[in-house]
Amino acid sequence: MEVEEIKEKIIRTATELFMKDGCKRVTMDNIASALHISKRTLYEIFANKEELLMACINTIHEEIDINRKKLNSQVDEPILLALFLMHNTAVANHHYDTFQEDIQRYYPQIYTYFSQKHTQQFHQELSNALKEAQAKGIMRPNVDINQVFKTITNYMHSCRSGANKEEKDEWLLNVRETLYTYMRGLMTTDAIQRYDAQKERFQQLFNVNEENNQKNNI
C-alpha cells in the first residue's frame, strides 16, 4: 500500500474516531488499533496526535471547499451565491459542532488557527458576493456589508438542529427560510420581484446542494 493511501486512511479513521469519542479521549494507540497497523507505522507518518489532528481538520476544510467551489461554478447570481455560502457554512458548523467544541477546549491553538482561517475565507467570499450584488443594483446601496457578515455569523453560531433526522430536516428548512427572508430585506424593490419569482429554482438548487453535502458526509 502506498504511503499516501495509508495517510488518507489514517486521516479518515482518525476523524471518525475524534468525532465519535472526542479528541482528548482518542489516543494514537486507538487509531493504530482501528486501522490494524503498528503504532510505529502511524508515527512514521504523523509525529504526534496534534499533527494528525491538524491534518484531519485541514482535510475537512478542503472537502468543504471542494464541494462549495463545485456548486459556486454553477451559480452566476451574487445573491444566490451569498445564500449558498451562508447555508453551507451553517450546515458545516452544525455537523462538526461537537468536534469543534472539543478542539477548542483541549487544543485551543489548533482551534484558533483554523477558526480564523475559515472565518477570513468566509468573510472574503461573502463580501465579494454582496459587493457584486450592490454593484448590480440588486442590494440596496446603504447596506453595511460588514454588519451583514456579523449578523449572519452570530445567527449561524446560535442555531442548532435536533438529534434525529426529522428535527434536522426541519432545522435546515428554518435556516433556509431565515436566510432567504433576511437577504430579501436587503434588496432593492425591483430585485425583490425577480428574487421572489426564482424562489422555486433556489429551493431546487438547495435540494441538490443538500444531496451533495450528504454524499460528502457534511
Q: How confident is the model at residue 176 (pLDDT cuts 50, 70, 90)?
A: confident
Q: What is the pLDDT of residue 77?
A: 84
| pLDDT digits 0-9 by tens, 80-139 | 889 888 888 877 877 787 888 899 999 999 999 988 888 898 899 999 999 999 999 999
Span of 91-100, 156-165, 167-176, 204-213 with lowest mean pLDDT: 204-213
Residue 146 pLDDT > 80: yes
| pLDDT digits 0-9 by tens, 60-80 | 989 888 877 877 777 778 988
Mean pLDDT of 188-209: 78
What structural domains and CATH numbers belong to the chain? 1-47 (1.10.10.60), 62-215 (1.10.357)
Q: What is the pLDDT of residue 164?
A: 66
b/e per residue 15-50 (b: at least 16 CB within 10 A) = bebbbeebbeebeeeebbeebebeeeebeebbeebe
pTM of the model: 0.81
First to last CA, the chain: 28
Pick 12 or 159 by higher pLDDT.
12
Q: What is the pLDDT of residue 75?
A: 76
- 126: which 3 cell numbers? 461573502
Q: What is the pLDDT of residue 66?
A: 85
Residue 205 pLDDT > 80: no
- 196: which 3 cell numbers? 421572489
Q: What is the pLDDT of residue 194?
A: 84
Residues 6 or more apart in contact with residue 100 via CB below 8 angstroms: 93, 111, 115
Rounded distance, CA 115 to CA 75, Å? 26
Mean pLDDT of 150-179: 78
Q: Work out the mean pLDDT of the chain and round it to a whole number.
A: 86
Rounded distance, CA 197 to CA 201, Å? 9
What is the number of other CB atoms lying within 10 angstroms of the CB of residue 107?
A: 19
b/e per residue 82-94 (b: at least 16 CB within 10 A) = bbbbbbbbbbbbb
